[in-house]
Structures are given as structure tokens and as C-alpha cells.
Amino acid sequence: MNKRLLIILLVLVGIAAWFLVRPKETALEPDTSTPVQTSAPLVAANDLPNLPLLKPDQTRISTKDLKGKTIIIFFEPDCEHCQREANEMQGHLPAFANYNVYFVSPAPMDQMQQFFMKYNLSGPNISFAQTPNSSLLQEFGPIPAPSVFIYSEKGKLVKAFKGETPMANILPLL
């Protein structure tokens, strides 16, 4: 009986050892020719994001196609931090004259328009547009409102400010 038990045990150890040292089958190996994305993609460190935008006149554009010096401000119309930052920015609008400024939010268009009227954010270089939350998350991951991203004429990221930021920190970069 002991001899039989010993033979069964040796066979089981042999099978286990074979599984540990055998080459893996290629069908079970992950395909490494195509990168697998396990989380939201990050924006290239120095590149405009690829966000779809819907402007108030129903024009559709992408932030990837924006030309010239650009500032993208992510905001929520009912956010107190965004309201304070917009109020402070309104007093410094001439400093933004050399930039195309886009206020971007997933909020309804009428709420964004009320925000713009309340804080008198107007000018030929200032626009607001809607983008889906899913696009924001895909391009940036979770970010606080407001967040300000300043891009050079070539679309390279100059500086990102996440969260309410005093104009004294933003203005020197313009």
C-alpha cells in the first residue's frame, strides 16, 4: 500500500513540476503588439488635449485643432471657486488679449451663458463651450474645477493650475 501511495505522490509531483517549467502556450500569452490601456489615458505632457467642443452656435470643434496661444479653463457655473476665479479674471481681461481663452464645461449651455453674463467675460478672444464629462475624464482623469491650462503658440503646455488659483500666479505666465 505504501509503495502505491509513493508512486501516486511521485506522479502528482511530476505533473506539478511539468506545469511549472513548461513553456507557456502563445494563445494564453497577452498580445504585446498592441498596448493595453488599463486606466484613463494621460494627456501628453506638452500637447493640447483632444476634447470635442460644442460652442453656443452649435459649431463643433476639437481642442486639438486650436491655433495660437490658448488657455483652456475647466469650470462649473455653480462652483464657488470658479465664480471667484472668474470674478478676479474679469478685472484682468486685457492681460489675456494675446490668448484664445476657452471656458469648457459639461454644464448645460444656458447655465454657461448665465455665468458669462454675470461675470462679464466677453471679448473676441474669449469663448465658452460644452464637452462631455466622459471626454474630460478620458483626457485628464479627475480634475478639480476650476483648472487652467496654458498652452504656447505651438500647442505645448506652459503651465497647468488645478483648483482655484489667484490671478497673481497666472498673470506672470501670460
Could you read off the pLDDT tens digit of each residue along the chain, which spans 174 residues?
A: 566 655 665 565 566 555 555 555 444 444 444 444 434 444 444 589 999 999 999 999 999 989 999 999 999 999 999 999 999 999 999 999 999 999 999 999 999 999 999 999 988 999 999 999 999 889 888 999 999 999 999 999 999 999 999 999 999 999
- The confidence score (pLDDT) of residue 122 equals 87
Q: Select from 159, 147, 151 the least CA-distant residue to 47.
A: 151
Secondary structure (3-state) at 15: helix
Considering the domain delimited by 52-173, tell me its CATH architecture: 3-Layer(aba) Sandwich (3.40)
> Rounded to whole angstroms, how far apart are CA atoms 81 and 85?
6
> Rounded to whole angstroms, how far apart are CA atoms 119 and 170?
18
> Rounded to whole angstroms, how far apart are CA atoms 69 and 80?
27
Q: Select from 119, 110, 172 the least CA-distant residue to 146.
A: 119
Helix (H) or strand (E) holding 84: helix 80-90
